[in-house]
Amino acid sequence: MPHLRIRDAAAFLGVSDDTVRRWIDSGQLSATSDASNRMVIDGAALAAFAQSNAATPMADPSTVARSARNRFVGLVTKVVLDTVMAQVEMQCGPFRVVSLMSSEAARELRLEPGVVAVAIVKSTNVIIETPHGAS
């Protein structure tokens, strides 16, 4: 069972160490001590806490129904165009999303920094890595 130190839990949740300590002190999040007497949080408990306390994503401005479930509303932060292709970067909450598309498509969508857009990710291949590999 994985355990995470407070600083790592804070980084995953996007808050300060002090906020995680306040959640522990108030009983919202449970913690134990490891062999070195450091306060740690059970990974499964942290995952459940992260899901139940996740910020509500921005509403999708489109009214179109789609099968893709991975939809990220955000702001275009950068557009790099050449004669054929465009690289479009977006900031969607804490996530940076990069899309490659034709320059023609980027121009038709009028993509430029500050434009609100929705990044839709639909893939049959999703790669997941762990820092330690299989045990």
Residue 13, domain CATH? 1.10.1660.10
Half-sphere exposure of 45 (CA within 13 A, CB side): 19
CATH number at residue 101: 2.40.50.100
The answer to whether residue 29 sits within a structural domain is: yes
In a domain, 94, yes or no: yes
Share of the chain above pLDDT 70, in %: 82
* Torsion sign across C-alpha atoms 97, 101, 103, 105: negative
Asked if pLDDT for residue 112 goes beyond 70, the answer is yes
Contact between 51 and 58 under an 8 Å Cβ cutoff? The reply is no
Report the SS3 class of residue 5. strand
Segment 96-105 mean pLDDT: 92
Percent of the chain with pLDDT over 90: 38
18 within some domain: yes
pTM higher than 0.75: no
Residue 128 covered by a domain? no
What is the domain extent for residue 98?
70-121
Q: Give me the mean pLDDT over the 87-91 stretch.
A: 90
Nearest one of 97, 73, 99 to 87, comparing CA atoms = 99
Encoded tokens for 56: 């509500």
> Per the structure, how many domains does the chain have?
2
Q: Which pLDDT band holds residue 94 (cuts at 50, 70, 90)? A: confident
